[in-house]
Chains A and B, each alone.
Chain A
């Protein structure tokens, strides 16, 4: 460490030195109260009551166990996700040939079974009963075709089963469906691509990615945008999908 480093360190230490011991004690007292004293008080109350009415306590304990498995575990799991993945980060995406740094925010998918990072300045995540949809924060004018990315899970259907159905579906909705291909980017899985019309600025485009959920089922991600938006919304969806992770 040279002279300048020593000086910087010394100045930072001096400026952050004020009331450290007091803060340390205050924080510990709060932690002790919240994590240990409350717990011990609850345990004592439980013991006292258990002598008087053991049957009621046994039933209550059963309810508590049931309750804790349904709530605490779920909460802990969500907290765990937040600890593993940073809540916000900077993502570099290539938009119309320019490298664009974008701040993205962690989103937990339905039942916390996947995560994705989303640019909250431009998009919003709508959580539905069967699927989550990422779409533009500001609604587009009516003249624009739909712009969205739908993420849904089919727990009982393998990727191969999904592909067969999707190929038929796309063929009925779009004039041109390209051959399904295996891809490793933005996700590892299969990609189906289709376009309707094909030469107009507003020709609807779709990409469907099918990803194995490693548990006998599949995640299906359906992007919808229009031809002129391929390098805008299309590229942004692509970058977001690169951050898609299944939580096992």
Chain B
């Protein structure tokens, strides 16, 4: 995000904010839809994230990329709304970390890769969604989720391996 646009937004310039919105909204909506699995929640999360960005732009610290800052707010907002709706599925993180299966649910009825991702535990699902939707790097995902870069690397690696395994399974079944 260009510095001059941020400066203009700080002054309350509507056009500058619209410019930011046009640049970020599309991917933000896709990300929120994927994380919340619910269009209405996604809409609220994106709306609230932009409001928070507008009202708190003066607290934005340029040592973090604007994209990482924005998506940190967005992911937090999605999680907050999910918690509020009690739609999050409780998972035992310790169990998940040590379980090669990595799956939150049974693989039954999962017929595509998107379905496989959406059945994964959030600790694998959210980094994968950030990687594939917006093309964030491991470093950027680590910044967004406030995790160590190696943790992100390992979660992406494990998540991707599971997808690979599932893909071969689906291809075999297709034959």
Contacts and interface: CB of A to CB of B under 8 A. Distances in A.
* Chain B associates with chain A: yes
Interface of A: 4-5, 7-9, 11-20, 23-24, 26-28, 30-32, 34-36, 39, 76, 79-80, 82-84, 86-90, 100-101, 103
Interface string B123-160: 10000110011000000000001110000000000001
A228 to B, nearest CB: 24
Contacts of A84: 59, 61
Contacts of A23: 29, 39, 42-43, 46
A32 B50 CA distance: 11
B132 A12 contact: yes
B120 interface: no
A88 B79 CA distance: 9
Contact of B33 (A11, A16, A79, A88): A16
A137 B4 CA distance: 49
A31 B46 CA distance: 10
A12 B133 contact: yes
A87 B80 contact: yes
Given A12-B129, A15-B114, A83-B73, A31 B59 contact: no
A17 B33 CA distance: 9
A102 to B, nearest CB: 9
B34 A16 contact: yes
CB-based closest 6 A-B pairs: A16-B30, A80-B59, A86-B146, A15-B114, A11-B114, A9-B132
A39 B12 CA distance: 10
B89 interface: no
Contacts of A79: 52, 55-56, 59
Interface range on chain B: under 10, 10 to 19, 20 to 34, or 35 or more? 35 or more
B14 A76 contact: no
Given A15-B114, A31-B47, A89-B146, A83 B56 contact: yes
B66 interface: no
B51 A11 contact: no
11 contacts: A11-B114, A12-B133, A14-B114, A15-B114, A18-B39, A23-B42, A31-B21, A35-B17, A79-B56, A86-B145, A87-B76
A101 B30 contact: no
Contacts of B167: 4, 7
A16 B133 contact: yes
A177 B61 CA distance: 44
Contact of A4 (B12, B46, B94, B164): B164
Contacts of A80: 56, 59
Interface string B42-83: 110011001110111001110000000100110010011000
B14 A7 contact: no
B163 interface: yes
Contact of A12 (B61, B114, B123, B164): B114
